[in-house]
Amino acid sequence: MKYRPIMAASGYVLSKDKTSVLMLHRNAREDDDSLGKWIGIGGKMAKNEDILTCMKREAHEEAGIICTKMRLKGTINWTGFGPKSEDWFGFIFLIEEYEGEPFTSNHEGTLKWIALTDLYQLPLWEGDHYFLPLLFDSDERVFHGHMSYEQGKMTSWTYHRN
């Protein structure tokens, strides 16, 4: 069987003082696979765009901001993810500078600045606890991870940096 993952970008916007991150509380749609979870902004890449264009578009659509400085911090191959057991390949960005005032909500839920020190107290996807520390650490090397899920539960996590 061919591997045909859903390609996506996920971005984490740092506050101007670098102490908080803009998170999306997915609380607007009952049919949402991420209902109740806090996640970064982002989404699926369109056929006619590259991953940077995707991330910039998603940041503008979901948060109302224009990214002016962002870095690719990592990639993750999620296999068997979510209730539909889909395969996703995600590019994880740290958005360090932006223009505009972020929305307080969108069609998926509430946007809120969360102190980096409080981030892990939120209801996150289980796997986020493994890759978010890599996103916010000072290591300049890009990480490349693989996270497996079976029946909605994370079963493994490995990563490398180069």
DSSP, collapsed to helix, strand or coil, labels residue 124 as: coil
Q: Locate the domains of the chain by residue range.
A: 6-161
Q: What's the rounded mean pLDDT across residues 21-46?
A: 94
Distance, in Å, from the CA atom of 37 to the CA atom of 110, rounded to the nearest integer, reads 11
Whether pLDDT at 162 is above 90: no
pTM: 0.95
**Residue that the structure tokens 């003082």 belong to:** 17
pLDDT tens-digit readout, 11-27: 999 999 999 999 999 99
Q: What's the rounded mean pLDDT across residues 84-105?
A: 97
Distance, in Å, from the CA atom of 140 to the CA atom of 22, rounded to the nearest integer, reads 21
Q: What's the rounded mean pLDDT across residues 124-139?
A: 96
pLDDT for the residue 32: 81
The correct answer on CATH 3.90.79.10 for the domain covering 6-161 is yes
Give 45-104 as a DSSP string. Answer: PPTT--HHHHHHHHHHHHH--EEEEEEEEEEEEEEEETTTTEEEEEEEEEEEEEESPPPS
Q: What's the rounded mean pLDDT across residues 95-101?
A: 98
Q: What's the rounded mean pLDDT across residues 31-38?
A: 90
Distance, in Å, from the CA atom of 25 to the CA atom of 113, rounded to the nearest integer, reads 11
pLDDT for the residue 114: 98
Q: Give Cβ neighbours of residue 47 (< 8 Å, ≥ 6 apart).
A: none
pLDDT tens-digit readout, 132-150: 999 999 999 999 999 999 9
pLDDT for the residue 84: 87
Distance, in Å, from the CA atom of 96 to the CA atom of 18, rounded to the nearest integer, reads 8
